[in-house]
Amino acid sequence: MKAGRLPSGTPLPETGAGADMPEELVATLGPKAISPDDPVSSGPAFLNPGGFASATCDEEGVVRFAEDRFGFAPGAQLDRLPARGQARVSLLTASDGRTAAVAVAGPQAAAEWPLAETVRRALLAGEARYAVLICLSPAAADPANTQPARLLGLSGPEARVAAGLVETGDMRRAAQRAGMGYETARKLAKSAMRKAGVRRQGELVGLWVALQTGETVSQPALAAALGALFPIGARQAEIAAIVADGGSRKDAGDALGVSEHAVKAELKAVFTALQVPTVAALSVLISEVRILTRLVHAVSLEATATAPAADPLRLIPRVGRPGRIALLDHGPRGALPVLILHTATTSRHNPQSFIRALQSHGLRPIAFDRPGFGLSSMVEGDYLAQSAQDMADILDTLGIDRAAVMARGGTMVLSRFAARWGDRMLRAVAVNPEPPSGVDRKRVGLTGVVKTLVYGKPWLTGALASYLGRNASAGIVERLVLRSLESSEADRRVLSDPEVRTAYVQSSQLSALQGAAGFRAVAGAEPFQPAIPIADGRRITILCGAQDPLYNAADSVPPWEAVWPGASVVIVPDAGRLVHFQKPELIARLLLD
C-alpha cells in the first residue's frame, strides 16, 4: 500500500503537516521546529566540509579575496546579494564569462559554514561584508583520493574520467584532462557508471557532486531555486531536474503530461538559459544548486553525517535494476557473514562496541541502508520485495553464497527474503519484531502517538516523514530517542554509554538524508501488507526484550510463530528495545548455533 491511500485504495487529499502533527510530537521537537509546509525551509543540513571552498566579497558583490581552491579570482561579480542577516544562492561571473552557483551570507548567517580561516577572520574583523561558498572543483584534488571515488570503488583512471566530466561537462574534454583517448575514456565512464549504479553520465556526475558536498533538497525546493536563479519557467525547471537526475525526455514528458517534442523544446531553452552545453554539465550545475539551496535554508549545519570516519562504507550497484546500495562490510572476510537490517527510523550505522562484540564471536557484520535510507537510492514497485532483493544483490556482489540475518526492524523484509531466498539464509534473529497493526495494543507515549498516526491516518505518512526529516538535528534526535525509550530501564542504561547514544543518534540522522523517503515507504507498506509464510521456520529465532517500550511480545510473537512454524522464541526479562546492544553475545550465539 502506498502512503497517501487507505487500504481500500481510495485516494485522499494531501493535508498540511504543520496543523496535523500531534501536540506531544511538536512539544518534544521544541518550539523551533520548522514547518514542513514550506518547501525550502529545513532543519539541519548534513555537509562534507571538505567539499567546499570560500571567498569574501564587498558590499557591491565583488570578490576581494579567495582561497586557492576557490576557482574564481578576485574581481568576479555576484549577480545578487542577500537581505540583511540572511543567506541566498547567487550566480558568480568571472571576467572571462565563466559562471558558477554560490552561497552568499553575512557574518552571522555564515557562522557555521565551512569557511577558510582567512575568510572567517576577515568577516569577524569587519574587513569583508559577505562570505561566498562554492562547491569544490574536482581539479582541486587528486580524484582517486576523493570521497566519491572511494565510496564508489572507482579505480584511478575511472576517477579521473568521472572528475573530468564533473569539471568540464564534456566527455572529450574529460578524456583530454585525464590524459587518455576518447574511446578509452568512454569505456571507463561506463565502468564507473556500473559501479555507481547509474544509467547515464548526468546521474554519475550528479552523484559525484552529492557525495562530495552533502545532502540535497527536494524537487519542489530545487525547482523554486532554479526559477529564482535563471530565466526559466516552473515547467522548464522541473524538466531540467528530471533530466539532470538521469531521466530521459520520455520520463520527463510522462511525469509532466507533455510530449517528448515539447520536452525537447523546453530543454533547448533550459540549456541556453543556464549556459550549459551538455546533460552532464546541466547535472553538475543543478547538483550544486541543490546543495547550496539546502545549505542556505538550513537552521544548522552538521558535518560528515554521510560517512562516519569509522565506517568502511561502500556503494554498490543493484543487480539488473537501477540504483545503488550503501553498505558497511565490517569484516573479517573469513568469518560468518551476517546481514543487519535496520528499523524505519535508523540506518546502517551501529556502535563500534556492538560491531566488535559480533566480530569477537566469529561473525562478519554487514550493515546496509534499506531503499530510501541513508545513501541507498529509492526503488520503484513493491518496496518490501525490492528491499529483499537488495539483500540478495549484496550477497551476489560480495561473493557470498549464504549468510545469517539479524533483523532489528525490517521483519517484513526478512519475511520476504526467507520466502524467496531461504536457501541462502543460514539462520536469522528477528529482534523485537513488529506485530500486524491490527493486533498492536501498545499505544503509549510518544511512539504510541506516532503509531496511531501511521496506522489510523496513513495519508499523513508523507507529512509525518517530512516533519521528522526536517527536525533531524543531533539535539532534537537525541531528545526524541530518549523520550521514546524513557520507560525502559534497560534502554536508558545502555543509552547512558556516550558511544552507544552518539552512534544511535547518528544512525537516526542518516535515515533522514533523503527527506525521510525510506520512513515514508516503510510506514506505507509494512503495517498493511501480509507476511509471507514459510514451511519451516526452525532456522529463525524471535528475540524480544521484555522492556521494549514500542511493542508487546504477547502481540508480536503469535503472528510470527504462525508465519514461521517451528521458530524459537527467546524473551529476555532485563532487556528492552535495544536488546542487541545489551546482549550482543546472545545475538552471536543465536546466529551461530
Pairwise CA distance, residues 78 & 80, whole Å: 6
CA distances from 238 to 55, 167, 224, 323, 403 (A): 31, 24, 9, 21, 43
**Do residue 401 and residue 255 come from a single domain?**
no
The 10 Å Cβ neighbour count of residue 200 is 18
Q: What is the pLDDT of residues 318-358, one digit of tens each?
A: 998 888 899 999 999 999 999 999 999 899 999 999 999 99
- Please return the burial class of 7, using the count of CB atoms within 10 Å of its CB with bins 0-12, 13-18 and 19+: exposed
Q: For the chain, how many residues are written?
A: 593
- Cβ contact 56:64 at 8 Å: yes
**Do residue 496 and residue 419 come from a single domain?**
yes
Region 203-217 average pLDDT: 81
Q: Scan for cell 527536494, then name that residue.
A: 218
Domains in the chain, number: 4
Examine residue 33 and state whether it is found in any structural domain, yes or no. Answer: no
Query: What pLDDT sits at residue 103?
Result: 96
Q: What is the pLDDT of residues 15-39, one digit of tens each?
A: 344 445 566 565 555 545 444 444 4
Instruction: With a cut of 50, say whether residue 200 has pLDDT above it.
Output: yes
At 9, is the pLDDT very low, low, confident or very high (cuts 50, 70, 90)? Answer: very low
**Do residue 448 and residue 516 come from a single domain?**
yes
Instruction: With a cut of 50, say whether residue 224 has pLDDT above it.
Output: yes
Query: What pLDDT sits at residue 46?
Result: 75
The mean-pLDDT minimum among 31-40, 293-302, 370-379 falls in: 31-40
Examine residue 371 and state whether it is found in any structural domain, yes or no. Answer: yes
Q: What is the CATH number of the domain that holds 475?
A: 3.40.50.1820
**Do residue 335 and residue 278 come from a single domain?**
no
**Do residue 328 and residue 371 come from a single domain?**
yes
Query: What pLDDT sits at residue 367?
Result: 97
Region 448-467 average pLDDT: 69
* Residue 252 one-letter amino acid: A
3-state DSSP assignment of residue 364: strand
Model pTM greater than 0.95?
no
Examine residue 87 and state whether it is found in any structural domain, yes or no. Answer: yes
**Do residue 81 and residue 124 come from a single domain?**
yes
Examine residue 157 and state whether it is found in any structural domain, yes or no. Answer: yes
Q: Which of 190, 213, 236 is the last residue of a domain?
A: 213
The mean-pLDDT minimum among 33-47, 151-165, 397-411, 524-538 falls in: 33-47
Determine the distance from the C-alpha atom of residue 39 to the mean position of all C-alpha atoms in its chain, rounded to a whole number: 18
Output the DSSP codes for 185-205. Answer: HHHHHHHHHHHHT-SSHHHHH
Q: Which three cell numbers stand for residue 570?
A: 527467546
Q: Which three cell numbers stand for residue 182?
A: 576518447
Q: Which of 451, 472, 474, 461 is nearest to 519 (CA)?
A: 461
- Average pLDDT over all residues of the chain: 86
**Do residue 132 and residue 149 come from a single domain?**
no
**Do residue 550 and residue 413 come from a single domain?**
yes
At 77, is the pLDDT very low, low, confident or very high (cuts 50, 70, 90)? Answer: very high
**Do residue 477 and residue 368 come from a single domain?**
yes
Query: What pLDDT sits at residue 463?
Result: 66
Domain extent at residue 108: 45-136
* Residue 349 one-letter amino acid: H
Region 349-374 average pLDDT: 96
**Do residue 56 and residue 156 come from a single domain?**
no
Percentage of the chain surpassing pLDDT 70? 86
Query: What pLDDT sits at residue 34?
Result: 46
Q: Which of 213, 239, 265 is the last residue of a domain?
A: 213
**Do residue 201 and residue 235 come from a single domain?**
no
Q: Which of 185, 213, 241 is the last residue of a domain?
A: 213
Examine residue 15 and state whether it is found in any structural domain, yes or no. Answer: no
Instruction: With a cut of 90, say whether residue 72 has pLDDT above it.
Output: yes
Kindly give the interhelix angle for 234-244 and 260-274, rounded to the nearest 10 degrees.
90
Percentage of the chain surpassing pLDDT 90? 58
**Do residue 84 and residue 207 come from a single domain?**
no
Task: Give, rounded to a whole angstrom, the gap between the first and last alpha carbons of the chain.
Answer: 37
Examine residue 392 and state whether it is found in any structural domain, yes or no. Answer: yes
Examine residue 427 and state whether it is found in any structural domain, yes or no. Answer: yes
The 10 Å Cβ neighbour count of residue 320 is 7
